[in-house]
Structure formats: structure tokens, C-alpha cells
Amino acid sequence: MIRTTLRFTSRLMRVAATLMLVAGASAAQAQDAGKKPKKPKEPKTAADSLKVAGPPKPKKMPAPPMFASEKPLELTLTTNIKQIKKDKSADAPWRTATIAYTGEDGKAVTVPVRVKTRGIWRLKHCDYPPIRIKVADKAGKGTLLEDLDEPKLVTYCRNLDTYEQYVVQEAQLYRINRLVTDVSHKVRLVRLSYADSASGKVEVTRYSFLIEDPAHVARRMNGVILDRKGATADDLDPDISALAFTFQYFIGNTDFSFGGLHNGEVIALADGRNLPVSYDFDFAGAIDATYAGVDPQMKVTRVRDRQFRGYCAHQAAYPKAFEQFVAKKDAIYALYRDEIGLLISPNKVKSALGYYDDFYESIKTPKDAQRDLFATCVK
């Protein structure tokens, strides 16, 4: 983990404007002297970025109608499937495609979009790679795809019922995270038909889900996404951090790093706080996918085994986080009885709820939490 410390304090925010004025004055003096002003040094950390640019200025973004509801939606994605499956490189090009659905008035709606492959593990191992969708403003206007920007689409990995279950289970974990904290991604489960533009035929229909763009999550928090690594305990808001790490422990996920921006993002607020955001949960113990594994650096060796990875420095914030999970317990369990929850096989539901029961035993008393969680906290 990169140990570069980000210092986003209110003091930094107060001096940011002064720094900018000083820099401007220096440039003017240099020009008066017939010399070119010195080019500012490239910021090395996110903290340096704020020193140069001042407090973050959230970009105004309308809320995409796609995420106004959680009700499963039927879509058809048409693109050159053979071509997409060959796009395995990190710099794969954008491909032409369309997304079609039936509107509330019963009329067919077809939106031209562009798609490209993404991901790391799934890109290499899946029959159909996960993709990112780009929707032009004019093309999406007046449709469910309006203001989506570039959302991720989690696709089926292999054309098997077991893998489709993994997709629905992961979407369920995003929904749980939404119940616990607003600092989280919205998702929309879709029954997606994959049609090949070359043949005009639908090759397969499977459940997939769309993930809210990080920039939209940041906008809801009135902040911006940081794209530089290095966040430590001193940089992250203790309360939101406690919720994030408790959630990761709740679902049994160790495949993330907020400091390394691996399956985790950091939102910077103008008041100096930095909020961790979790995503990508298919390696979670609550799902227990056959392809999931555990990093050798972890103390656990099985995906189903939990390991707490929160910061020791934030321990005082955890009682409040635990209270939130206890307060939301009934609502969390109820998700497995609603329209989306019923798509998950009864055995998987039973396994997940039993797994969550174990979590609640671990936070039942301070002694339990000390034994099961804080014994492995990160110093």
C-alpha cells in the first residue's frame, strides 16, 4: 500500500486561495521582467492538487433517470459480439452499439451508444467481458439513458446459470450498501439480451446490472472523485470509513484498497473531508464464487473467511457504524424476499443470511468486536 499521506485539512483549504494569488503575482512579475513565468510543478499527490487548484469544485450533474428505480428492466444490447470478445487489451477501442427497450407508453426506444471492454480479472477470464457504455447527450435525451455519462455494465461471465446467480448476488450487495450509507453506488438490475449486429440474432439473455458513474456519486455528496493514490487513516473521514470497512467485513470482502484505489474510490469534499466508496464485490464471501480467491498477503486463506481491514485509529467510530448495521438488519434481510431477492436461489439466500448472522454475532458486544474485528485492524 502506498504510504504517501494526503493532508486535506481546513487549514489547507484556507491557504489554497492565498497560494493561488501568490503564484499569480509571481507570474506577473516574471512577465514584467521579460522572462517567462516558471511552470508550476506537477502535483505529486491529491493533496498537492488541492494546493494548486484550491478546494474541489463539484460539477453539476442531473440525476440519471435510470437509477430512479430499482425495478428490473429489460434491455437489448446490440453490437458486434465477436469483435467485443476479442477486445482483451487495456486500451481497447470504443465500438458502435445500440441499447433498446420498451417505454412506458409501449413504444420501442433505441439509443445509439458506444461500448468498450473494461476490467482486469474478468476481462481475461470471462467469455463475455464487462463493458463500459458511453451515451452521447443528444442521443440519450428524453430516454432512460439520459445523463448516464459512462456507466459500467456488469455482464455475465460465462453462459451458465451459476454465473448469472453471481451477478444478481453482487447487485444485491450494492443494494445493501445503499441501505447502510448514501456514500455508495446506485445500481439497476437489467434482463439483458445480447444481440449480434453482424447476424441480427440474440445470442443470449442474462441478468446484468448497470452501476452509477463515480462522478454522479461524488456529485450527490457535493464533492469530486480523487484520482491519486495514497490515502491513509489520517486522510479518511472516520465515520464514513467505519461504515465502509464494516460493510466490507459484513460481506466478507478483502479484495479492495482505498489507498490504492483498487475496488475503492475516494471523494474529496470542499470542507476537507474525504469519503471512501466501495465497489466491485464479486470476490466477497457472501457470494462465494467458484472463481474467487484471496490475496496471499491476507491472514485468511478462504474467501468465506472474514478479515477486518479497518484502521485502528478509527476504532472510536465503529460503535456508531455497528448501530447502523443493527438498525438496518431487518431491511437488509428483507431484500432477499423482494422481487430481486427472489431471483436468487433459495440455497444461496440461506447461505447469505446465515453468513450475515455470523457477522451480527461478531459485533454483539465490544468483547466480540475486539476478538473478531479489531484484533486485525490496520495500524
Nearest residue to 332 via CA among 207, 168, 108, 176:
176
- DSSP designation for 324: H
Q: How far is residue 193's CA from residue 239's CA, in Å, rounded to a whole number?
A: 41
Residue 113 pairs in a beta bridge with 97
Task: Give the position of cell 494569488.
Answer: 21
Residue 278 pairs in a beta bridge with 264
Residue 372 has pLDDT above 80, yes or no: yes
Q: How far is residue 202's CA from residue 77's CA, in Å, rounded to a whole number?
A: 9
The per-residue pLDDT for range 34-93, each reduced to its tens digit, is: 444 444 344 444 445 444 345 566 666 788 999 999 999 999 999 999 999 999 888 899
The per-residue pLDDT for range 144-196, each reduced to its tens digit, is: 999 998 999 999 999 999 999 999 999 999 999 999 999 999 999 999 999 99
Give me the residue spans of the domains in the chain: 69-214, 221-376
- Strands 202-211 and 131-134 turn out to be unpaired
Residue 18 has pLDDT above 50, yes or no: no
- Specify the pLDDT at position 57: 67
Helices within the chain (DSSP H only): 10-32, 46-53, 81-86, 121-125, 137-140, 161-180, 214-220, 238-251, 318-327, 329-334, 346-362, 366-372
| Other beta carbons less than 10 A from residue 1's beta carbon | 14
Q: What percent of the chain has pLDDT over 70?
A: 84
Q: How far is residue 66's CA from residue 205's CA, in Å, rounded to a whole number?
A: 20
Instruction: Work out the mean pLDDT of the chain and round it to a whole number.
Output: 88
- Specify the pLDDT at position 1: 41
Residue 14 has pLDDT above 70, yes or no: no
- Specify the pLDDT at position 124: 82
- Strands 73-79 and 187-196 turn out to be parallel
Q: How far is residue 73's CA from residue 161's CA, in Å, rounded to a whole number?
A: 19
Residue 376 has pLDDT above 80, yes or no: yes
Task: Give Cβ neighbours of residue 372 (< 8 Å, ≥ 6 apart).
Answer: 306, 308, 362, 363
Counting Cα atoms < 13 Å in the Cβ hemisphere of 371 gives 9
Nearest residue to 176 via CA among 63, 338, 350:
338
Give the three-state DSSP class for 166: helix
The per-residue pLDDT for range 222-263, each reduced to its tens digit, is: 999 999 999 999 999 999 999 999 999 999 999 999 999 999
- Specify the pLDDT at position 142: 96
Q: How far is residue 296's CA from residue 302's CA, in Å, rounded to a whole number?
A: 10
- DSSP designation for 62: P
- Specify the pLDDT at position 283: 97
- DSSP designation for 144: T
- Phi, psi angle pair for 210, to nearest 5°: -95, 145
Task: Give the position of cell 468498450.
Answer: 116
- Specify the pLDDT at position 55: 53
- DSSP designation for 40: P
pTM over 0.95: no
| CA distances for 161 relative to 19, 227, 283, 318, 349, angstroms | 58, 36, 18, 38, 15
- Specify the pLDDT at position 90: 83
- Phi, psi angle pair for 67, to nearest 5°: -100, 15
